[in-house]
Each structure stands twice: as structure tokens, then as C-alpha cells.
Homo-oligomer: A and B are copies of this chain.
Amino acid sequence: MKFRVSSELSYNIKAPTSFIFNIQVAQTKAQTILEEKIITTPADLPVDEFSISSKNARFLRMHVPRTDNFRIQYTATVNLTLKPVQIRKTAVLKIEQISEEALPFLYPSRYCQSDKLYNFAEVEFGHIKSTYGKVKAICDWIYENVSYVCGSTNANTSCLDTIFQRQGVCRDFSHLGIALCRALTIPARYFAGYANQLNPPDFHACFEAYIDGRWIFFDATRMIPQHGLIKIAHGHDAADTSFASIYGEADPIDVIVNCEALDKKAFDTYTKKLKLVSYE
């Protein structure tokens, strides 16, 4: 299944500013990048490209002089070959079975203070035996109890706020899902990506939970078919998967994001078949 993704970020640079962009598609087993392109305006600014493997992420580091309209455009064509995942839905995760790579995702992080949610998670989900059942119940709980309201939250909002404010956006839905998993000793990580026909178009956030030895994809917003995403990066939470980190003085002008399946008909058929997927 091929997807065409693009993003364009523009800024008014009021003083020389450094950027770290994290907008490129991740290179994983499931994702093959057929072509991609970066264009900046002004052109010919030096770009330092690097990747951090623990986040599956690729970065662009740039230093931009004063200018009214700095612009970075990214386009890619990606082949996504997700296969349905076979996990034992009744499996119960034991701490001994968690891979070393997954263990760091058990700990609380900036926006996912799982250490404050042990009782909440136990009261709501403790009676469910299987790991898969718990994560599914978490997603259902979030979907049923939290309203998706554009603009209702900001960069300070953590999963604790979401619990009592009961509204948020994809970022908040993901943070809460992650925190509740971790509170139940299930490793979970933030998933940032491009989402097929997201409305309104924007970067999307979901999460991955570690079940029966695999990283399984979940989206508590139910906005996107679960294989309609292209991964950019995963991380502990939004704090370390920001699409643009800005060091200097830059006012954002616009963010334009797009993602669509090249063969829409095939995508729709595909949608009905796949159930659980892993982006690994």
C-alpha cells in the first residue's frame, strides 16, 4: 500500500534560530521510502541529518538566519506493508518477558505520570486478566469518557489534566493511554505520524503498547483506520517526539500536512481486513 505524505512548515525568523525537525518518515521494516525530498526556502541552508535509533527517528538540524519567511517542505512516497499481527490475546505480560529495549517505556515521563495512576488503573482495569484486554479497555474508556475538542488543550496539558478535564486532542488521548498502560506495568510509547485523510489535516499522535512480545498499534481517538498511518517516530511522549524544536526567536506562520493512499480503492478494501497491526 503506497502513501504520499507531505508537510510544510513556515516561520518568521526574528533572530538567528536553530531548528531540529523530526518530520521525515521513519525507516522501519514495515515502511519503505520510495522517494523523498526536502526543500528549504531560502535554499542552500546547510542541513545536518542524523537519526536516533531508540526513537526510530530521523532528524534535520538547521541554523537559520533572520528572514521573514523560512519554509521547509518535505514530501515522500512510502510503501507500507503492514501484516496482521498474531498475538495471543489472552497472554498475561510478566516483567521477566519484557525485552530490554521495551523496559524504558515502563517508566513515567513528562506528560505520562503513570506513577500517579496506579489506583485509578487498578480500579478501572485491574479486573481484566489479559494484557490485550487491558489495553483495549483503556482505549474504550478514553474514547467513551474523553471528548475530542480541537484547541481544548496546550503544551502544558498532561495526562492528569485529561483525566479531570475529560477533553483533549490526539496528543492527550495518546498520553492518557500510555500512562494507564504503564500504571498496569505494560510498556507503552508515543507514536507520531502522518495520518491518511485526517480531518482537519495535521500530524497525528497514537500509541504503541507492548503485548505478547510485540509493539501493537492503538489509536484511542478512533479517527483513523489503524493502518492508515505512516510513522515518523516513537518516544516516551510528545516531549521527545516534537516535529519541530525551536531554539531562538521564530514565530510559526503555518503548518500544512497531508497524507493519502495512492490507491484509495485498495486502501478501503484493506481497511476491512486488517485488525491488529505493528509498525515494527
Contacts and interface: CB of A to CB of B under 8 A. Distances in A.
Interface of A: 18, 20, 48, 50, 52, 54-55, 59, 61, 63, 94-96, 100, 103-104, 106-110, 113, 115-117, 119-120, 122-123, 145, 147, 155-156, 160-161, 163-167, 185, 236, 239-240, 242, 245, 247
Contacts of A155: 115
Contacts of A147: 119, 123
B107 A166 contact: no
A119 B165 contact: yes
Nearest to A99: B50
A214 to B, nearest CB: 20
A247 B185 contact: yes
Contact of A20 (B95, B110, B166, B247): B95
A18 B156 contact: no
Contacts of A63: 94-96
Interface residues of A, dominant DSSP = mixed
Contact of A50 (B100, B115, B160): B100
Copy number in this complex? 4
A161 B156 CA distance: 11
A108 B239 contact: yes
6 contacts: A18-B96, A50-B100, A54-B54, A109-B110, A115-B239, A119-B166
Nearest to A100: B50
Contacts of A161: 116
Given A20-B103, A109-B239, A239-B109, A145 B123 contact: yes
Contacts of A167: 119
A165 B95 contact: no
A117 B163 CA distance: 10
